[in-house]
Structure 1
Amino acid sequence: MGKAIYAPLQSLKENGDILDKKIEELSCREIDVQTDLETTKLQYGKKPKREVELWLKNVQNIKDKVHDIKQKLGEVSWTHIQLRMHLAKEVEEKIKEAVELKENGRFQEGLVVDLLVGSTETFPPIKIVGETTALKNLQTIEECLMDDEVGKIGVYGMGGVGKTTIMTHIHNNIKNVGTFDKVIWVTVSKESNLKKLQDDVSKELCLSLSNTEDALRRSAEIFRALNLIGKFLLILDDMWRQFALKDIGIPEPNEENKCKIVWTTRFENVCRGMGSQRTIKVDALTEDESWILFKEKIGADFVLSPEIEQIAKDVVKECDGLPLGIITVGAAMRGVDDIRIWRNALEDLKNSRPDLEGLEDDVFSCLRFSFDHLKTQIHRDCFLYCALYPEDDEIVCDSLIEKWMADGFFDEIEDREKAFDKGYTIIHDLKDACMLENGECDSRSFVKMHDLLRDLAIAITRKSHQFVVKVCSNVGKFPRDENLMDDVIRVSLMYSNIEMLSCQSTCLKLSTLLLEDWAISIIYSFEHMQNLRVLDLSDTDITCLPQSLSNLVNLHALLIRDCWNLTEVPSLVQLTELRVLNLSGTAIKYLPDGMDSLTNLRVLRLSATKRLEMVPVGAISSLSHLEELSMVESKWKWSSNEDRNGRGAGVEDIVRLMHLKKLLLDFVDSSAFLSYVRSRHWRGLNCFLLTVGKLFFDLKEIQEVFYSRECVVYVFDGDCMNSVAFPTSNLTKLLISFLDNLSTINMEEPTQGDNLANLKRIDFYKCPKLKYVLSVGWFQTLQNLEEIIVGYCRAMEEMVVDMGDMGEANNNIPITLPRLKRIKLSDLPNLKSICKRTLICSSLEEIDVFNCPMLKMLPFSINSLPSSLKQIKGSRRWWDSLEWDNANTKMHLQTFFSERPESCYELEEDQERQGTKRKAEHLQMDLNFPPHSLVRQLSPRSWQL
């Protein structure tokens, strides 16, 4: 026994030296990989394989862990035998991991994949208006694109005439035809400078320019990348001034490369300055086209009286053939049948005159009319608020509404959820009035503001001296003239360079101050801003905040997200009106003083606080009105109070939050997670992300889960877990990975009212002892299930089991899963049955079976074959071995079968023999199974099945 105890201690020094050597060898391999990676990427326009990125991340992780072990060894006395034995075992484990990682870093198949592959994505279609005019313009541009002698095409016309709409159609048509190797769309906007334009082009190329700020080097990288593409079409939308193509890094189009560049602009001289070989003017609509469009917008089935129709035609003439003006005015007059209102509308349009240089009279008149005819003053205020964001910015609806609420727009509504409903209703009304547009990203709810409508909003607010909007600009000192700040209620300095923020004048009316993503690290004072309600300092370089922050007694929202250098926040004891506190992505070690005074706090976000050492007992539970708590990727993981012996808050503090609706939390282990599950506190939540294990997050991905209102459980890497339970109500995604001892799902059979009706995705991966996924009782409640993914569960014989003793007769009762789209099964060598009952899956599109040799039947009969099926993937050997209830079933499904090469199985078996989690992950990625990184699992943009 003595030898068994002291043997690890005796070899500790020797093993420590061995570990240092192995880590040094691994670091050399890491340097070689990174050098080859950078060289290959720069020379050939490639990007790292996902397995290479994961390997580099794992190398950094083991180096960090080894550093921690050595630090602990240096601090632990020789007398602490038990602790030193534990560290000695860790040293032995790290030696094995380092050797294994070094071997895995050979990458004989190469480090990179093609970076510049043409995308098949198209923009949401926009209806072309004007059968003659617009189609004639569109046809002319397309003819130029087919002409090898024309490389640079300028498209110009007044604002609102439809240039972007025409180019959107061309973009989509060209992508579908495949004439070019890559089609690139960049929105330039008024505030663009050379650096921003280079960033936008490189983003479209998936090219990182973060390593250099030198404009010449950046242009060289873009030039190299574009030359590697081959034949490209570059669309530069909304140019306000000319740029030299060589300064950006864009190759000159010629007959040899057959590349094309098209730009749209309001100014013909921009086309000349850019060297257009063909210049095309987009004309306004004819009277007949204008009238057709107007009637469509006021309602195709809405009949105007003869008297009103004549006035309506005069109204259309005032729009001067501009589609944007016609659309917004038509939306404002939809359903109006009072001739007096029509006469007044015509007078308003005739009398409106612009006061903004560069905004055409007719455009301004139409848009001002549409603004004046919005439903309520709240609608107009909410519309004007959107002008605080940069031109062409995609504004996250939830974030926007949160600022509206904090700024007092919905003070009469006490319930936060109802206030959000009100906000979304207003956004719907503004889109219905054509004053806002839908954003282009499907994963979250965005809106955009047409640049002309933003110009209108800025003109209106500038006239009243209530807004200061200095976005994407070099502001210098702010404010320059403090005498002009008396009436200002909202200030936006987003994405701007500011040397100093110090305001000595009285700003008693200032309610919103947006300083997001600005280049400044020091703020001198928030004095004289006692009525400030919204303060956004997100994405800035600030290292500290002035003590005057504590004087903002009326502050409702304090947003300091992604300030990675901020280590401390002043006392919040006086900020008793605070509703939203966002400290995600900061470097704070402790919560600010005065947290227990925030009795009105509704939202607390502390995700990605990677240095947060302590959450005191009662600091969270004292926030009695808290509705939303986010702490994913924080250093502070949640356990029970008993485990911490009273040193810090635990699960019990969370359970006391009776008003909580959203919860994003990391648990320290499975015991703490199960403790929370048993509390049933989750029954009151409408959004949650509950995780166990070592995960890697991106803060933006966390926000997406938060805004999407998903309910996700992810349990990862728990060696001691032999069973797992999880919340059932509202659950939308269940992700279980790397549980080596998991054998059962700990769920009682559903009783009346129990169901998993909201569950959309089930994912079980690398649980070698797991015998089944769900019981038949729970499986038949999955009415919204879309995906089933099961891999590397070697003990599984039946995926869905009947827990009751109900006899074979029940096998004839089918189970209906109306929304199931995909079934993916990987490396289940003992799986004999997916489900003994017949499945009726009317939406099923894909079945993917990989290395499941015992699976001899698919759970479909000739009477229940899914008409939506597109593909069945598997090996020829597996397909030929399948048994069928009816010969016609196989005949019908044969046309959908797509053979997966046998080499895939040989590769899998070889790698499984080597038996590492990382290699399993790599194989999984190579086979297009979803990567087990939460970032990709929760992001529709970054992970596609």
Structure 2
Amino acid sequence: MFLFILIRLSTKMAEYVAPVAAKIVADKANKYASPYFGYFFSYEKIVKDFTNERNALKLRKQRVDTDVRDAKNQTEVIYEDVEDWLRRAKQELEETQNLQDEIDRVKCFKWCAKWGWRYGLSKKLAEKTPIISKLLETSNFAQVGYRRSLQGIEFITSTDFMDSESSKSALNQIMEAIKVVNMIGLHGMPGVGKTTLAKEVGKHAREQKLFEKVVMFTMSQNPNIRTIQDKVAEMFGLNFRTNTEEGRAEELWSRLKVEKHILIIIDDLWDEFKLESIGIPFGDDHKGCKILLTTRQQQVCSKMKCQKEIQLGILSKDEAWVLFRDQAGLDDDWSSLNEVAKEVAGECKGLPLAIVTVAKALKDKSLDEWRDANQRFKDSTHLYDEEVLGGVLEPLKLSYDYLKKGNNQMTGNHIQMCFLLCSLFPEDAEIPIHILIVCGIGVGLFPNASSIEDKRKRIGEALKKIQKSGLLLETDGAERIRMHDVVRDFAHWLTSTGENRFMVKDKLKEWPDMVESFEGYTAIALWNCSSNIKNFPDKVEFSKLKTLFLQGESKWDGLLVVSSTFFEEMKALQVLKLEGVYFSLKGFNSLPNLKTLWCENCKLENLSSSLTSMRSLEILALIATKIDEISEELVKLSALKYLRLYDGFASGVMKIPPKLVSRYDIVVGGLDFSFGEELTIRRLRIENFSSSLSAFKNLFCNVGELKLRKVSGLKNIVPSIGKKVLNELTSLELDSCNDMEFLTDITRDQESTITFSNLVELTIRGMVSLKGLCYSLSPSHRAIASYTILKVVTIGSCPKLKTIFSPCLAQSMLCIEELYIRHCSGLEQVIGFAQEEEITKNDSRRCCCPKLRILEIFHCKSLKYVCANTLTQGLQSLESVKISDCPQLMQIFKMEQNENGEDVAVPQLLNCKKLRYIFSPTTARSLSHLVVLTIEGCEEIEQLILAKGQVSSSSSNGGLQPISFPNLTNATITNCRNLKSLFPFGSVPVLPKLECLEVKSNSKLEQVFELVDESKVVPEEEMEFDQLRKLSLKELPSLIHFGLKGYHFVLSALEDLKVRNCPKLTTSFSIDSQEFVHCKTKV
């Protein structure tokens, strides 16, 4: 008021006072009132500034959210200032949402706001805008996270760890010793459990917090210093700046000295070794660094000057039997089988590795098979003379032989060959399963399998069988396996003579002495060959060789150069795996039997001119390999079934012949064969690609599965890739293609060409620019984007997506069964209702998603509705709906009033803070499928079922049957602060199958059951809940009664009753002689 008086005063004075004096007074008034005048007269500018800044903040927050998500995917730790900025940005956007809503409402209704309202809003906006601007100024983060140094391997007790007297004694000795000495040696024979015990030491050391870091690595017979340095550096978050082993050792030395207390476990040390060559400070250089080493030989401990030497002995007879019995799945009762089993266990000589492998091999076998195994042990005592393997060899031989059991001769042999192929890899290597599969296919395993897919499946099954036998070990990843070094030694013993002779060499600096005949070898693996290898021959005679692995040393300064004539005398060669090699294919004219050619990080010459000679080639992989070109000659390889092209070459110009793409599974990207995955149709995968896809235009024809990941520059699928070429597509996966806005953009194309007509599965993730599936879709365009057989849709992390399906698009999806939506922050509606005018009169009779069974929507903070009322009658198959953390959700189905009702189950609603009710009366009457109901954190919900008086007359029907939930067995309702009652109670049992009811922290809840018609109350009428076993009522300060006034509830099956903090509850509970619970509420 003072403001207006002051303004009027300055104006009146101008009429009576001298002009100069009047001007002085007016200027003073304007100066005092200028900010307040600004709120009136700069309203439009203030609104514009606020809107622009707020929109910029939303976009910047989405960008930072995406960066944070990517960083977390890379296991990075997010900086605290970034977390704080996101928290403040989120808070500011939430606090200003009401202001934005007011602005939008004025624009929508085009009315002129009152001066008082205009002043108030303008003042609030003017106060908020600089706060938002400040947030934008502080949002330019160079990076949002950092790599946390790893904590070391997870020292979890192995399921094979035997808590024996020997292991307990050794463990206690080690735990005492590491407190007083710097180096401890643990020695014992192979297979006795040294590695497992060392891991147990690491676990105890971590639990007792004796060290800041516990690091474990394996040395093996031919240690790879660089690999060990990389592993240790990763644990400490160190990125090397130098490339030489010496320079890296110096860096690692300096980094480790920063840590006060470190335990380093060196597993499987074979000889004296200088720790400083890795970069491990020790002794006087770092008194806080303790070393535990394991070795097969006691003299290694002496050479390393261990201050404490501990021997791990074998298991006692009783301990061995307990471990054997558990692994073989035997009970402890006396039986003929157990008697034989005890003899077999005794033959394992107390070695845990032997016990485990033999027990697993004989598990679930018949008594005759046990007796046969026992006899074979007794007949094979000569094998114990083997120096390296000792008493473990014969148990391993038994497990190896048992790989044939239950299979015909050929199948058994092929399973054993899968096992032997694993021994071609370096010691302690994690073996990629897809490499084993392509090698197995190449050497002709399982020839009766008709297709490459069937062969792959059979080889995968064989590897699983070998794993179950105990001869192969799992790794942290499902796509790799590992072979214990003792088992690998055993495999090498098997292949040292006989029909299948293998040779494996590592760190080859000089070609092996040719005094030994190479004629008999069928498989050779040469790993880490020096690029300056001495005496590398131009030609060798390996007439029986079927498999050759040749790997150059991993160095920056050059590839291993191989002569073009090197392969000429390998006429039987079937599998050739090359890595880090520079060679010409001219000599391949003499390789008519080659089936698998796998090249990684190689440089190839004369590929095109040599292709015609490789008529048997089935698998060709060129990975990060430089080639001259891919010519039409490749089409003539009639046996070729799998072609993989990846990296290196793809960055240049590549022309792929049109005829090449009709029958292959092609990969342009980083995915490999996956273990056990069926490959039945042609796939195309393109990853990490930023150039035009025109180089691949011929690949899209007749593709069955298409995956695009991190492909930039692509605005859409159609028309960018094409329409007709995608008609065979059954699966489409799009991931992090940040420029894509729509799958289909038909604004410039009015043709009625059908696309996606065979699409069954659609997956979209991390598409930050995606606005919709189809742009400018109208009824006339329905034929252009057809999803008539689409069954599964998964959409996640698409922040700009507001509506997923238009009504007419949703009506075309007659087969969709599952819909999953996650983290779409801008999503407002799943099926749009703003375009309902698009639906014609004939369309209105069509069902929307009539086969939809599962609907899950999580973390969509802007979602208001799932779909419009006119479309909900099609959801008659819906069985499961889970909606969580959708704070703006007001109704599941907008204006839910259809007369037919939906047979819908809504088992889970979590943190939908604006939802006011769940079901309309019509919907509630049709819930025959509802089995589980969970509602949590829906703060605004007032009633589960909308009251009859709140439903429009068009949907009310007095003749409908009473509301009940005939199949509901479990109901949980928590943290719904405005909820006053739960279930309506009429003339029929409302919950005949209810077994569990949990109600907690609903502050306004007054009654669990609400009487529909109080005039029909029958005093003391008995109502039985004969299925209810658990009833929990907790933290309900307003609850007055559980049962209905005047009714007598009998809970004949109740086993668990909990009532806590319900101060106003008037219902009494009692137990009769039959242990039935009765509850009564007085009128």
For the aligned pair, the TM-score class normalised by the smaller chain equals 0.5 to 0.7
- The aligned residue for residue 1022 of structure 2 is none
Q: Secondary structure at the match of 1:560?
A: strand
Q: Aligned match of 1:133 in 157, 165, 185?
A: 165
Structure-to-structure mapping, 1:491-506, within 5 angstroms: 491-497=524-530, 499=533, 501-502=536-537, 504-506=539-541
Structure-to-structure mapping, 1:164-203, within 5 angstroms: 164-172=195-203, 175=206, 180-203=211-234
In 2 relative to 1, CA 729–743 (structure 1 residues): closer, same or farther, beyond 3 Å? Answer: closer
Decide which moves more: 382-391 or 410-419. Answer: 410-419
Q: Secondary structure at the match of 1:264?
A: strand
Instruction: Give 1:412 shift.
Output: 2.4
Instruction: Give 1:255 shift.
Output: 13
Structure-to-structure mapping, 1:362-761, within 5 angstroms: 362-375=391-404, 376-441=412-477, 444-464=478-498, 466-477=500-511, 480-481=513-514, 484-497=517-530, 499=533, 501-502=536-537, 504-518=539-553, 520-524=559-563, 525-538=566-579, 540-542=580-582, 544-563=583-602, 570-588=609-627, 590-592=629-631, 594-608=633-647, 609-621=649-661, 628=682, 630=684, 632-633=686-687, 650-651=697-698, 654-656=700-702, 669=714, 673=718, 678-679=723-724, 711-712=733-734, 715-718=737-740, 723=745, 728-739=759-770, 744=775, 754-757=789-792, 759=793
- The aligned residue for residue 384 of structure 2 is 353
Structure-to-structure mapping, 1:6-25, within 5 angstroms: none
In 2 relative to 1, CA 202–138 (structure 1 residues): closer, same or farther, beyond 3 Å? Answer: same
Instruction: Give 1:885 shift.
Output: 3.8
Aligned AA (1:655): C
Q: Secondary structure at the match of 1:269?
A: helix
Aligned AA (2:523): R
- The aligned residue for residue 327 of structure 1 is 356
Maintained 8 Å contact 1:605/1:629: no
Name the count of aligned residue pairs. 737
Instruction: Give 1:388 shift.
Output: 0.5
In 2 relative to 1, CA 817–771 (structure 1 residues): closer, same or farther, beyond 3 Å? Answer: closer
In 2 relative to 1, CA 777–722 (structure 1 residues): closer, same or farther, beyond 3 Å? Answer: closer
Q: Secondary structure at the match of 1:571?
A: helix
Aligned AA (2:298): E
The answer to whether structure 1 residue 891 and structure 2 residue 924 are counterparts is no
- The aligned residue for residue 899 of structure 2 is none
Maintained 8 Å contact 1:507/1:528: yes
Per-residue CA deviation, residues 799-845 of structure 1 (Å, 9 max, x unaligned), is 454688899xx99x999758x6x83447x5xx54467899997988x
Q: Secondary structure at the match of 1:200?
A: helix
In 2 relative to 1, CA 48–575 (structure 1 residues): closer, same or farther, beyond 3 Å? Answer: farther
Maintained 8 Å contact 2:430/2:480: yes
- The aligned residue for residue 130 of structure 2 is none
Per-residue CA deviation, residues 346-386 of structure 1 (Å, 9 max, x unaligned), is 3244232354x533x20122212322332122222211111
Gaps of 5+ in 1: 1-45, 53-103, 691-710, 898-945
The answer to whether structure 1 residue 287 and structure 2 residue 327 are counterparts is no
- The aligned residue for residue 250 of structure 1 is 280
| Counterparts of 1:508 and 1:814, CA distance in 2 | 62
| Counterparts of 2:851 and 2:744, CA distance in 1 | 31
In 2 relative to 1, CA 448–774 (structure 1 residues): closer, same or farther, beyond 3 Å? Answer: farther
In 2 relative to 1, CA 730–467 (structure 1 residues): closer, same or farther, beyond 3 Å? Answer: farther
Structure-to-structure mapping, 1:132-171, within 5 angstroms: 132-133=164-165, 136-137=168-169, 139-140=171-172, 143-144=175-176, 148-171=179-202
Structure-to-structure mapping, 1:35-184, within 5 angstroms: 115-119=147-151, 122=154, 126-133=158-165, 136-137=168-169, 139-140=171-172, 143-144=175-176, 148-172=179-203, 175=206, 180-184=211-215
Maintained 8 Å contact 1:509/1:531: yes
Instruction: Give 1:208 shift.
Output: 3.2
| Counterparts of 1:293 and 1:116, CA distance in 2 | 39
In 2 relative to 1, CA 730–720 (structure 1 residues): closer, same or farther, beyond 3 Å? Answer: closer
Per-residue CA deviation, residues 37-74 of structure 1 (Å, 9 max, x unaligned), is xxxxxxxxx9999999xxxxxxxxxxxxxxxxxxxxxx
Is the radius of gyration larger for structure 1 or structure 2? 2
- The aligned residue for residue 923 of structure 1 is none
| Counterparts of 1:650 and 1:222, CA distance in 2 | 48
- The aligned residue for residue 798 of structure 2 is 764
| Counterparts of 1:738 and 1:179, CA distance in 2 | 50
**Relative contact order (C-alpha < 8 Å, sep 6+): which is higher?**
1
Judging by fraction of residues, say which structure has more strand. 2
Aligned AA (1:267): Q
| Counterparts of 2:268 and 2:589, CA distance in 1 | 44
In 2 relative to 1, CA 161–801 (structure 1 residues): closer, same or farther, beyond 3 Å? Answer: farther
Q: Secondary structure at the match of 2:796?
A: strand
Gaps of 5+ in 2: 1-75, 83-135, 405-411, 667-680, 747-754, 895-904, 915-935, 945-971, 979-998, 1002-1083
| Counterparts of 2:143 and 2:735, CA distance in 1 | 33
Per-residue CA deviation, residues 518-540 of structure 1 (Å, 9 max, x unaligned), is 464311121111221111113x1
Per-residue CA deviation, residues 382-413 of structure 1 (Å, 9 max, x unaligned), is 11111101111111222211210111112222
CA-based RMSD: 5.1
| Counterparts of 1:122 and 1:873, CA distance in 2 | 40
Instruction: Give 1:292 shift.
Output: 1.9
Per-residue CA deviation, residues 538-567 of structure 1 (Å, 9 max, x unaligned), is 3x152x424112432211111113337879
| Counterparts of 1:140 and 1:511, CA distance in 2 | 51
- The aligned residue for residue 98 of structure 2 is none
- The aligned residue for residue 239 of structure 2 is 208
In 2 relative to 1, CA 885–617 (structure 1 residues): closer, same or farther, beyond 3 Å? Answer: farther
Instruction: Give 1:603 shift.
Output: 0.7
What is the TM-score with the length of structure 2 in the denominator? 0.58
Instruction: Give 1:723 shift.
Output: 4.3
| Counterparts of 2:213 and 2:459, CA distance in 1 | 39
Instruction: Give 1:131 shift.
Output: 3.8
Q: Secondary structure at the match of 1:294?
A: helix
In 2 relative to 1, CA 431–763 (structure 1 residues): closer, same or farther, beyond 3 Å? Answer: same
Per-residue CA deviation, residues 399-445 of structure 1 (Å, 9 max, x unaligned), is 2112101111122222222112211221121112111111221xx42
Instruction: Give 1:290 shift.
Output: 1.0
| Counterparts of 2:589 and 2:685, CA distance in 1 | 24
Maintained 8 Å contact 1:857/1:882: no
| Counterparts of 1:407 and 1:378, CA distance in 2 | 10
| Counterparts of 2:480 and 2:318, CA distance in 1 | 34
Maintained 8 Å contact 2:786/2:812: no
Instruction: Give 1:589 shift.
Output: 5.0
In 2 relative to 1, CA 418–143 (structure 1 residues): closer, same or farther, beyond 3 Å? Answer: same
Maintained 8 Å contact 2:686/2:708: yes
Maintained 8 Å contact 1:119/1:182: yes
Maintained 8 Å contact 2:788/2:814: no
Aligned AA (1:473): K
